[in-house]
Structure 1
Amino acid sequence: MVAKAKKGLAEQSRIQGLGNTKKVVGLPAVAATFLIGLFIPLFIFLGPIRMSAYRIVLLLIFLPALVQLLKGLAGRMRLPDFCVIGICVWSSISLIVLHGISQTIEPIGVLWIETLGAYLIGRVYIRTPEAFYAVAKILFSMCLLMLPFVIFEALASKNLILLLFNKIGPSLPDLAAEIDNRLGLNRTQGPFDHPIIFGVLFGSLIGVSYYVLGYGRKIFMRMLQPVLLAVTAALSLSTGPLIAMNVQIFLVFWDKILSSVKARWYILTALAIVGYLIVDIFFANRTPFHTLVAYLSFSQGSAYNRILIWIYGTQNIFDNPVFGIGLEDWARPSWMSSSMDMFWIVGAVKHGVVVWVLWLALFFAVFLQVALKKELNTRVQYYRTGYLISLFGLFMAGWTVHFFNALFVYFMFMLGCGLWITERVADDEADTTSEERERTLSYSRFPPRAVRHTAGRPPSKTLS
């Protein structure tokens, strides 16, 4: 066992790669720049291509990060890696077959840079608990920075963030005049293309903020951060963020209430399957999907539209199963909007069933590999639980909204940035940051090892 642990630690040192060179608050500088770039709505144009701050970062790191992955400096290649590459390859083939290579160079390039590039930043550069903590800290800091501006936006229907950036250079339009108010408030857009992006991105961080940023903290601070994120995300007044947040809040409460029950996640999975069958059998006129959307949408009209998207979207998939419809418009009634607010079928509609299978395989490969990892210390177990809860919130939101632009690359980054957990070994000292050690010492006169189980760190394990 000792030899195995030493071997594991040696492997962890070897696979940290580029992440050990230049860092910003514990995070490789390239990853920090990418994350901050998500919130900068300024563009330059290379011909017809809109180059945002995060796209520039993705373009610059794409080849170096890919080389790091292929050389094994981010650990051995795993099923999720092959799924992402497979999505890019098959999607490119479908576009070339349907439209020819001369018309598809630009969309194929953007596809590879945003899909594989964003995944690689998470996969290659987030290799330690310290880096993962820094990711959560940067995202939460951006939430605090945005909060006063978006409160003003919700009340006054004026986006001060975009007003400022439009004075600096080309930026995004304020959609306040184009989007209907809800509950007497303007739907906040922040620095993004649409309120949905704003809401889902911040709303997906409930799990990460509670288990990662809150790890080792007193209960007030542990609860305060998710509450601030929930308030910020709720100002988007969108169904997707509502679903993402409700799912995560329920899972956090489930974990805390049943913390002494080792099999609680298996019990929850069984209850979910039974609930699905009950709805499917006894409510024949409504599928579980219909029920979920109906109860969690802001209006019956919104819920009905998403049900129609599923019906006509899947029909498009089955009518074009091999290569999809490519860049063509999808078939639907003339009175329906062209917007397809359902991320998990968009890829299949555009590129066929193979891509549909690869997307679902990618998500569940990441989720299950992280969830089933054994021999983790307490800190990494908590980080793992927060990551999986946030990831599942994104999964559920994807059935009611489409992930595009900043939200899409954020999602790909999130898929990649948790796989470091699959390569950890149980070593408490190596997985404790200096910041956490100082925070722990400030709580008590007891030695660090004793405090590890007294200063807000319950000894019960999660996802074990």
Structure 2
Amino acid sequence: MADTRHVIVPLILFWAILLPAGLAVDLGGFKLPPYRLVAMLLAPAAINQIMQRRLKFGLPDYLIIAGGLWGFLAMFFNSPLQKAIEGGGSFFIDLIGGYLVGRAYLTDTRRLRTFVVHALPGVIIIAIILMIEAISHQLLIAPLFPIRARLDKLYETRLGLLRARATFPHSMSAGIFMTSMLPLYYLSGLKGRTRWIGTVASLGAVFSLSSAAILTIMLSAFLIGYRAIFTFVLRMKERMIYLFYAAVAAFVFLEVFSGRGAIRVIVQYFTLSPETGYYRIIIWNYGTASVGKQPWFGIGDAPMERARWMIMETIDNHWLMLAVKYGLPATVLIGAGVIAAIWQCSARNQKLNNFDRATTMGVVFSLTCTTIVAFTTSLWANNIIWYMMVAGIACGMANQAR
């Protein structure tokens, strides 16, 4: 375990992420939710930490920062000046602010374990709220703060339970956040009850009744099981390259033989509701058409062209949403940066002992699962800054064994 002082800054941001986005401060029309305000204030400290510790930037860093800058500048090509400053600034802070904090402070397994120990109370609180909301059919937090959804959409039920959301703006957001903690706790190597309490609390995501959360749990279980076979049965370090080959083969198979394309299959069938799957396919069709018309800088915050009966303006595919709003280069740069961070964090830490290797792979699995599930939902508000923070952690931990 590391000195708690080393992880105070990321812990401050983590607890800000858990606060309702509705607690936003309005500065002349510029909305600053708690997580964005804190990220903006902590970014200079993170940059100073990077310089003091002489942390070297690599390919993932440059790709992600370039993607953030592209998205920021794209808003000036597709939006009026005021909206460009507000929308571009919000995008850049959420993306790069969280990334820099994770990159600067959580750079080895000792610091990460200290971080997840002190983050545990927050995870437990969210899990308890989710459980109470789902069983009681009464939201405790969302009605107290401004939201975009209609009141009837807040109280959506599945399988006899309310789709809980706790402090998050949507049940899907709550589910994805909680499931992203699952590999971090299960593979943390923490002694005593902390590891298991964190693991069980992470499974509180099921009370969101979100297909994205269920999918993330399944992917996490598969990756953890895959690693366990190598570690405990074959007595050797896991070979992630085999999974990469299998994923590429599966993608090519679906692309060639499904008759619909791999992405469409993933978007439609990775859901609990056939209606939702069908709706996502329609979004994909309209979204790709929009990208085809505005491939470089996107359409900004302007509404995407869609059928009149499609009331909801959301784009339930994070990577498609980035391309639609900020241009295809933003998606390519950020996506490539995240993939490079995953690859380097896994490949460069082969010489770590099994204890530290497991903790490191917890970060890799968390980031991998969320990256895949982002094809079926959009990461926004609290979620996007946490996702980029985990990406920063993966990039920082890629160099711990060197």
Counterpart position of 2:285? 311
User: What does the per-residue CA deviation read over 1:18-61, in whole Å, with 9 as the maximum and x for residues that have no partner?
Assistant: xx9xx6x4543221111111112233322323322222211212
* 1:86 aligned onto 2:63: no
Counterpart secondary structure, 2:117: helix
* 1:348 aligned onto 2:323: yes
* 1:76 aligned onto 2:63: no
Counterparts of 2:30 and 2:80, CA distance in 1: 19
Flag the 1:43–1:353 CA change in 2: closer, same or farther, 3 A: closer
Greater alpha carbon shift after TM alignment, 77-86 vs 246-255:
77-86
Flag the 1:268–1:86 CA change in 2: closer, same or farther, 3 A: closer
* TM-aligned CA deviation for residue 100 of structure 1: 4.3
Counterpart position of 1:251? 223
Candidates 323, 335, 339, aligned match of 1:360: 335
Conservation of the 8 A alpha-carbon contact between 1:208 and 1:386: yes
Counterpart position of 1:30? 9
* TM-aligned CA deviation for residue 288 of structure 1: 3.4
Flag the 1:129–1:59 CA change in 2: closer, same or farther, 3 A: same
User: What does the per-residue CA deviation read over 1:236-258, in whole Å, with 9 as the maximum and x for residues that have no partner?
Assistant: 11121122111111111121123
Counterpart secondary structure, 1:423: coil
Within 5 Å, give how 1:398-417 maps onto structure 2.
Answer: 398-417=374-393
With normalisation by structure 1, the TM-score equals 0.78
* TM-aligned CA deviation for residue 182 of structure 1: 0.8
Counterpart position of 2:103? 123
Kindly provide the amino acid, as one letter, of the partner of residue 229 in structure 2.
I
Aligned residues: 393
Conservation of the 8 A alpha-carbon contact between 1:31 and 1:125: yes
**Identity value in percent:** 24
* TM-aligned CA deviation for residue 178 of structure 1: 1.9
Kindly provide the amino acid, as one letter, of the partner of residue 33 in structure 1.
I
Candidates 61, 68, 74, aligned match of 2:42: 61
Conservation of the 8 A alpha-carbon contact between 1:176 and 1:186: no
User: What does the per-residue CA deviation read over 1:83-130, in whole Å, with 9 as the maximum and x for residues that have no partner?
Assistant: 222122222222112234344222222222211111111111223322
Kindly provide the amino acid, as one letter, of the partner of residue 145 in structure 1.
I
Greater alpha carbon shift after TM alignment, 356-365 vs 25-34:
25-34
Note the aligned Cα RMSD (angstroms).
2.6
Counterpart position of 2:129? 149
Rg (Cα) greater in structure: 1
Counterparts of 1:320 and 1:352, CA distance in 2: 7
* TM-aligned CA deviation for residue 295 of structure 1: 4.0
* 1:267 aligned onto 2:239: no
Kindly provide the amino acid, as one letter, of the partner of residue 84 in structure 1.
I
Counterparts of 2:148 and 2:257, CA distance in 1: 47
Kindly provide the amino acid, as one letter, of the partner of residue 370 in structure 1.
C
Greater alpha carbon shift after TM alignment, 361-370 vs 129-138:
129-138
Conservation of the 8 A alpha-carbon contact between 1:290 and 1:307: yes
Kindly provide the amino acid, as one letter, of the partner of residue 247 in structure 1.
L
Flag the 1:247–1:175 CA change in 2: closer, same or farther, 3 A: farther
Counterparts of 1:141 and 1:74, CA distance in 2: 32
Counterparts of 1:280 and 1:97, CA distance in 2: 34
* TM-aligned CA deviation for residue 198 of structure 1: 0.6
Counterparts of 2:194 and 2:86, CA distance in 1: 46
Candidates 174, 187, 202, aligned match of 2:178: 202
Counterpart position of 1:228? 201
Conservation of the 8 A alpha-carbon contact between 1:83 and 1:361: yes
* TM-aligned CA deviation for residue 268 of structure 1: 2.8
Counterparts of 2:163 and 2:297, CA distance in 1: 37
Greater alpha carbon shift after TM alignment, 374-383 vs 322-331:
374-383
Counterpart secondary structure, 1:177: helix
* TM-aligned CA deviation for residue 262 of structure 1: 4.7
Flag the 1:199–1:322 CA change in 2: closer, same or farther, 3 A: same
Flag the 1:425–1:323 CA change in 2: closer, same or farther, 3 A: closer
Unaligned runs of 5+ in 1: 1-19, 427-464
Conservation of the 8 A alpha-carbon contact between 2:61 and 2:395: no
Flag the 1:274–1:105 CA change in 2: closer, same or farther, 3 A: closer
Q: Which structure shows the higher helix fraction?
A: 2
* 1:43 aligned onto 2:17: no
Counterparts of 2:78 and 2:175, CA distance in 1: 35
Flag the 1:191–1:64 CA change in 2: closer, same or farther, 3 A: same
* TM-aligned CA deviation for residue 134 of structure 1: 2.6
